[in-house]
Amino acid sequence: MKVLRPITQQDFASLRMIAEESGPGFTSLPVDDNKLSNKITRSMQSFEKSVVRPHDEGYLFVLEDHENKTILGTTAIEAAVGMDVPLYHYYKSKSVHHSPTLNVYNTVEVLTMCNDYTGATEICTLFLRPDHRKGLAGRFLSRSRFLFMADHSDRFSERVIAEMRGVNDEQGHSPFWEWLQAHFFSIDFPVADHLVGLGNKVFIAELMPKHPIYVNLLSEEAQAVIGQVHEKTIPALRLLEKEGFEHRGYVDLFDAGPTVEAKLHNIRSVRESVQCPIEIVDGIEGNTTLAISNRKLVDFRATYTNWARYDEARHCLQVRSEVADALQLSASDSVRFFEL
């Protein structure tokens, strides 16, 4: 059984291994011991914190094999981005050049740097180790965050975003960044990417072009990847689209990957989730796989299993004792679940 839970300092070695495996472009997990340790500390403090409204909290989770205690993946939620450190995006819009006198009408795409997502909640840092990317583990890791957000919605913004990894090759070269580098920077994409992961974003404001960029002036290679995702990110994007997330023109400054967004209470997993007490029934088995959380905060636990069945008439979820133990639940405790 796989269980999602808040990260602890005992998970540092596993988190560092995940940071190394994630590769270039995964800026939220830099291969830096101090930064990773600070991320864990910040997450633990966020779970303990009394929150009136979202600010700078960060909730980091790990997916653990309940039997052998191996860490299989990680995922996170940033409560309100851009509040202390600016969050930059490019917004892609259209500019019309029209001359009735010359009978000329041209529409061109324009990229404008902005901070439009300041204060939004961001779901991020989704990574499942390669050996476990089969079955429902990836889907659960993505959607299980919404169980937590549904029960603790006061900790999050109504606007939820996800920055999707853009196109870059195995060496970390980004076609979009290569155009920017040639005209405005003197550092390679992996270096810029690493600086962002370390929280050093001052150079963005210092060196990024201050005026809108006409897309048709970029190289063909750079134009082709605007709003496109890395091939390994396609499954994650498809999952979010099924949840109701949409791309509305915002892209990353460095690799031009799309940022998608949704309203918290319109997210499918939030809308379709059910709250009810549990009943422990050994040997119970359902016809579908359910994602189930214990609705707690500091002791949050979630798992997915078919050792559970919803009794709609009695409005209770029947689960095996193994499931109750994994979720740290007793009879009649409340859970939230949805069909995975």
Q: Are 308 and 317 in contact (CB under 8 A)?
A: yes
CATH number at residue 64: 3.40.630.30
Q: Which residue has the tokens 């917004």?
A: 91
Is pLDDT above 90 for 1? yes
Amino acid at 274: V
168-177 pLDDT tens trace? 877 667 888 8
Where among 242, 269, 296 does a domain terminate? 269
**Could you tell me the residue range of the domain that residue 252 belongs to?**
2-81+117-170+229-269
Confidence of residue 189 (pLDDT cuts 50, 70, 90): low
pLDDT of residue 236: 87
Q: Are residues 77 and 123 in the same domain?
A: yes
Mean pLDDT of the residues in the chain = 90
Amino acid at 136: L
Is pLDDT above 90 for 201? no
| Distance (Å) of CA 281 to CA 46, 320, 332, 335 | 35, 5, 12, 15
Is pLDDT above 90 for 52? no
| Apex 115 CA angle, 113 and 119, nearest 5 | 160
Q: Are 95 and 213 in contact (CB under 8 A)?
A: no
pLDDT of residue 34: 92
Confidence of residue 86 (pLDDT cuts 50, 70, 90): confident
264-299 pLDDT tens trace? 999 999 999 999 999 999 999 999 999 999 999 999
**3-state class of 223 per DSSP?**
helix
User: What mean pLDDT do residues 74-84 have?
Assistant: 94
Q: Are residues 237 and 289 in the same domain?
A: no
Is pLDDT above 70 for 334? yes
Is 49 a member of any domain?
yes
pLDDT of residue 23: 67
Where among 269, 301, 329 does a domain terminate? 269
Q: Are residues 27 and 165 in the same domain?
A: yes
Alpha carbons 156 and 118: distance in angstroms, whole number: 13
Is 224 a member of any domain?
no
Is 207 a member of any domain?
no
| Distance (Å) of CA 166 to CA 59, 163, 211, 249, 253 | 24, 9, 23, 14, 10
Is 308 a member of any domain?
yes
Q: Are 340 and 136 in contact (CB under 8 A)?
A: yes
Residues that are catalytic: 230
122-136 pLDDT tens trace? 999 988 988 888 889
Q: Are residues 125 and 259 in the same domain?
A: yes
All residues at 6 or more sequence positions from 99 whose CB lies less than 8 Å from its CB, including other chains? 105
Q: Are residues 22 and 150 in the same domain?
A: yes
Alpha carbons 220 and 275: distance in angstroms, whole number: 51
Q: Are residues 233 and 282 in the same domain?
A: no
Is 90 a member of any domain?
no
Q: Are residues 312 and 242 in the same domain?
A: no
Is 185 a member of any domain?
no
Q: Are residues 265 and 281 in the same domain?
A: no
CATH number at residue 303: 2.40.40.20
88-140 pLDDT tens trace? 899 999 988 888 888 888 888 999 999 999 999 999 998 898 888 888 999 99
Q: Are residues 265 and 277 in the same domain?
A: no
Count of domains for the chain: 2
Q: Are residues 125 and 262 in the same domain?
A: yes
Q: Which residue has the tokens 């048709």?
A: 216
Is pLDDT above 80 for 155? yes
**3-state class of 236 per DSSP?**
helix
Q: Are residues 287 and 148 in the same domain?
A: no
Q: Which of 87-91, 297-301, 307-311 has the lowest mean pLDDT?
A: 87-91
